[in-house]
Chains A and B, each alone.
Chain A
Amino acid sequence: MKRSSGFDQISIETLNRRLWFVTIFVFVVFSLLFMRLWFLQIINGRSYKEQSENNRIHRQKITPFRGVIYDRNGEILASNLPSFNLYIIPEDIQDRELLLRDLKVLIGLDAEEVRGKLKKESKTNSFEPVLVKKNLTWEEMAKIETHLFNLPGASLQPEPQRNYIYGDFASHLIGYLGEISEKELESNQYPNSASGDYIGKFGIEGKWQKELSGISGKRQIEVDAAGRQLQVISQDSSVSGRNIALTIDRKLQASADAMLKDKSGAIVAMDPNNGEILAMSSSPSFDPNIFIMGIDKTEMKKLTSGKDSPFQNKAISGQYMPGSVFKIVMAIAGLEEGVITPDDAVSCTGAYDFGNRPFKCWNKKGHGSVNLHRAIRESCDVYFYKLGRKLGIDRIAYYARMCGLGVKTGIELDSEKSGLIPDSAWKLKRYGVSWQAGETLSCSIGQSYVQVTPLQAARLISVVFNGGKVYQPKIVRWVGDKNNESQSKPLLQGELQVKRSTLEEVKRGLIAVVNEAGGTGGRARVRQTIVAGKTGTAQVAGLDKKMKDNAWFVGIAPAENPKIAVAVIIERGEHGGSAAGPLAGDLIRQYLGFAEEIKTSADQDATETVEEH
């Protein structure tokens, strides 16, 4: 061996002596371990044995109270109700068949269903309580309670349960709760949730889950051999979730929901001065309470794939061609760029020949000679074809985006869509071909590629009447308590860089739409105040040519000092003036507190349309 160093005698002796000490040390330490084991298992063993066998300790979770959701006036929209739930701990069952039979006799529980649940849940840990039935009725609860002594393994747990007081009310906005999925559990985004918990899945419930959910507590209880609770040993209380107040007005929202019943479409009402959403309705909708009870797969499928997508919040993720509503943007762009003056007149013969095809006006007979004011009031297509031709698509797009179209508004809800404002660069990138001048004409009357969401439409008219301020729409008024309200000031995203005279001219046009003879929006008129607005009738993109047109109306009132802006879209409603206009008028009337009894003939007209539904 090359490296053998060779010990000298002294070293070996030294080392051996030291290792002798080490050996003694090892013996001493192990003796300590033995003594401790003797102490635990022999001297105190009886008491530990008792603790482990006779008095078993169960750990229970305490479900926290979920934060309450209020409307802007403090009315409760979603709260919690006590619910009695029936649990079974598989390990505590003495006679499974007997238990299943008793439960069937007592409260009519299907034996096979319970058997399936027990089998599925108890795979990993047969001491984990399995939820068998949620929300027992008082009668069921009384029956179980009195027979609990004969039902080893079964137990009743009072737990808070979400309650949406008005049921099918602002469902898309408020959202719903659902059982947390495997994927969500693994995502680490729900650190306070465990398997079987219900979490917010959609709308406010989903977006504000963290604030609303609270923190669950723990309770240690002593149970006897049959799993019956003997006493609570210790308890970590749960922490309730934070309350949230929305900006919506409960009554206005209810009216909007009612107006859309049996229709497909959306309504957005907002405060033009700060972007607060006063109502946001989408139809068809659903009752969020049904998810609480546990919804089966086929029913869920029916909802998700149902006609007119009941789960889509059309107010923020429905993208529609704006139709004539887009003429508001066109008028601003035209005046601002100086390609028209208010007095320039254009002749409308019912169609505008461009290239080798005629671009028709909705009025086949033609409007004759029209200036800007009349063009807006009567929604003359030919006027705007010509205006669009002068502007070109890129200048149109510039003004549209300035008005907040084509980008997400940034409202604090998931699944918002941006809509689409096309320009020449976009088309080249998207389709690889250059922009066609004919497409500019279609876009000028809000058809073709142009798409907006109802929320964007409501904000568009707000911007015109609030002096050009583009606010981020706001849905949450405060979180926690009322004192936090000051923290959420209106967020100004931008301002229209246009002349005052431009806005004044467009405003006059929009007032005329509702209030002057010949205007397309007469049915939105409210006698007590001046409503301004714009109708729209938009074709539906798709292969089916026979699809009926979508009906639009955007309105605002009072015109001189606006308090509410409304956008209404009724899918397949055909005419904005008749299908959407009256709804906007009614909402405005209600919000401004005007009685319905005093009616002019025009109003009566409008009310009748509503009453048909």
Chain B
Amino acid sequence: MFDRRLLQNFDWVLLVLLVLIATLSLVNQYSATFVKDAGWSRIFIKQFYWYLIGFSILVLMTTFDYHALERLSWPLYIFVIFMLLLVMIMGKISSGSQRWLNLGIFNFQPSELAKISIVIILSQFFSSHGEYADYRLRDLWQPFLLILLPCLLIVEQPDLGSALMLGIIAFTIIIIMKIRWTSLIILAGTILSSVPLVWVTLKDYQKKRIFTFLNPESDPLGAGYHIIQSKIAIGSGLLSGKGFLKGTQTRLHFLPEQHTDFAFSVWSEEWGFFGSVFLLIVYLFLILWCINIAKNSKDKFGSILAIGITATIFWQVVINVGMTIGLMPVVGIPLVLFSYGGSSILSTMIGMGILMNISMRRFMFQ
């Protein structure tokens, strides 16, 4: 039953890349939550355990053939929708939004799981509907509905960042599957024309964030404060950084949420241009490797699945880093695998496990 080729094909490169990022993250968490004479911070220790659990899940995800996910796509999707509804009804409210489910030992954020689920169900749809042909808009009503439902539930929480993320991931998959140019233009037109509509539904603090992104100096004490302080932190790192535990911006607590959304700023301040570029190159390598897995997969479902998961990683890295260096507005997207957060680590590790699974079974059809 057990195929020895599976072990031979184990994707060590992927594993090494992940372990490397996890290690850098822990080093950074230690600094971000460091308090003199206070020993290991609780957040550092928790993050360490999240990685242990995360890597166990990664291994677990390789033990079955990923084609099982094709059949599981609908039940998983329905489960995620159910969880999102549950959040709406009995979620934990924290700083104005209702995103978490209290599971006793930790607070789980179902919107993280939604990313994986939407990738799986879209892979299932595109692998079972036609070839890599030009899709017309009317061919795509089903995936649109599938995306829209969780997006609306997440916007309602309100967690605009996560909802946007979900939309971008799904959109990336559709683009790569290639839809007709004319359809794309219609789609883009629709989205642009709906901008004023969306603007009306935005909460005041979200509008403010977009304004301050456009001109951070307009509100240096409020929303613009984060962007300005993050840029000072990163900029003052210079070529080689201020050194481990020596970042004054970090020690001063100038960066709010420095262990989650602004973890990259902490890293850049202490390790400088070299450090930040090194970290980004590791991510770049990871993404290229994932694209390679998609290329090498010998069936449609596998390759679309790999593309979707890769898109998840790519966009989260770009949006988070872009935010900390002032290229994107402040949205609550953590730096995947690097920021603190159990839900994010678990869902990412599930994705990475699926990629590993696809990679290990790339020779199965020869």
Quick check: B327 and A41 within 8 Å, CB to CB? no
CB < 8 Å: which of B36, B132, B235, B299 contacts A44? B235
Give chain A residues whose Cβ lies under 8 Å from the Cβ of B322: 33
CA of A45 to CA of B273, assembled, Å: 10
Quick check: B277 and A34 within 8 Å, CB to CB? yes
Q: How many residues of B contact A (CB 8 A)?
A: 56
Give chain B residues whose Cβ lies under 8 Å from the Cβ of A125: 253
In the complex, how many angstroms separate the beta carbon of A93 from the nearest chain B beta carbon?
Answer: 13
CB < 8 Å: which of B238, B298, B301 contacts A45? B238
Give chain A residues whose Cβ lies under 8 Å from the Cβ of B294: 19
Quick check: A5 and B232 within 8 Å, CB to CB? no
In the complex, how many angstroms separate the beta carbon of A260 from the nearest chain B beta carbon?
Answer: 48
Q: Does A1 contact B (CB under 8 A)?
A: yes
Quick check: B127 and A5 within 8 Å, CB to CB? yes
Binds A, one of B74-82, B280-288, B329-337: B280-288
Binds B, one of A48-56, A158-166, A283-291, A581-589: A48-56
Given contacts A7-B299, A23-B288, contact A234 B280 (CB under 8 A): no
In the complex, how many angstroms separate the beta carbon of A563 from the nearest chain B beta carbon?
Answer: 52
Interface of chain A residues 222 through 279 with chain B (CB within 8 A): 233-234, 236
CA of A52 to CA of B38, assembled, Å: 25
Quick check: A26 and B291 within 8 Å, CB to CB? yes
User: Which of chain A's residues has its CB closest to B93's CB?
Assistant: A188
Give chain B residues whose Cβ lies under 8 Å from the Cβ of A52: 232-233, 235-236, 248-249, 269
CB < 8 Å: which of A1, A3, A14, A33 contacts B325? A33
In the complex, how many angstroms separate the beta carbon of A217 from the nearest chain B beta carbon?
Answer: 9
Quick check: B364 and A1 within 8 Å, CB to CB? yes
Quick check: A37 and B276 within 8 Å, CB to CB? yes
CA of A32 to CA of B319, assembled, Å: 12
Give chain B residues whose Cβ lies under 8 Å from the Cβ of A53: 236, 248
Q: Does A543 contact B (CB under 8 A)?
A: no
User: Which of chain B's residues has its CB closest to A30's CB?
Assistant: B284
CA of A7 to CA of B36, assembled, Å: 59
Give chain A residues whose Cβ lies under 8 Å from the Cβ of B238: 41-42, 45-46, 49
Interface of chain A residues 1 through 46 with chain B (CB within 8 A): 1, 3-8, 11, 14-16, 18-19, 22-23, 26-27, 29-30, 32-34, 36-38, 40-42, 44-46
SS class, residues of chain B in contact with chain A: helix
User: Which of chain B's residues has its CB closest to A27's CB?
Assistant: B284
User: Which of chain A's residues has its CB closest to B128's CB?
Assistant: A5
Give chain B residues whose Cβ lies under 8 Å from the Cβ of A124: 35
Give chain B residues whose Cβ lies under 8 Å from the Cβ of A236: 221-222
Quick check: B284 and A32 within 8 Å, CB to CB? no
Give chain B residues whose Cβ lies under 8 Å from the Cβ of A233: 220
CA of A233 to CA of B232, assembled, Å: 16
Given contacts A33-B325, A45-B238, contact A5 B248 (CB under 8 A): no
Q: Does A357 contact B (CB under 8 A)?
A: no
CA of A14 to CA of B134, assembled, Å: 11
Q: Does B268 contact A (CB under 8 A)?
A: yes
Q: Does B188 contact A (CB under 8 A)?
A: no
CB < 8 Å: which of A15, A30, A45 contacts B303? A15
In the complex, how many angstroms separate the beta carbon of A75 from the nearest chain B beta carbon?
Answer: 38
User: Which of chain B's residues has its CB closest to A59's CB?
Assistant: B221
Given contacts A1-B67, A26-B288, A220-B221, contact A51 B300 (CB under 8 A): no
Give chain A residues whose Cβ lies under 8 Å from the Cβ of B110: none
Give chain A residues whose Cβ lies under 8 Å from the Cβ of B127: 5
Quick check: B291 and A51 within 8 Å, CB to CB? no
Q: Does B171 contact A (CB under 8 A)?
A: no
Quick check: A30 and B280 within 8 Å, CB to CB? yes
In the complex, how many angstroms separate the beta carbon of B87 from the nearest chain A beta carbon?
Answer: 20
CB < 8 Å: which of A41, A91, A123, A234 contacts B237? A41
Give chain B residues whose Cβ lies under 8 Å from the Cβ of A45: 235-239, 273
- 22 A-B contacts (beta carbon < 8 Å): A1-B67, A4-B299, A7-B298, A11-B132, A22-B307, A26-B314, A30-B280, A33-B321, A33-B327, A38-B273, A40-B235, A41-B276, A45-B235, A45-B238, A45-B239, A48-B232, A52-B233, A52-B248, A124-B35, A125-B253, A126-B36, A127-B252
Q: Apart from A26-B314, A36-B327, what 16 extra A-B contacts exist at CB < 8 Å?
A: A1-B67, A1-B365, A7-B298, A19-B291, A22-B176, A26-B288, A30-B284, A33-B322, A41-B238, A41-B272, A45-B239, A45-B273, A48-B231, A49-B236, A52-B236, A52-B248
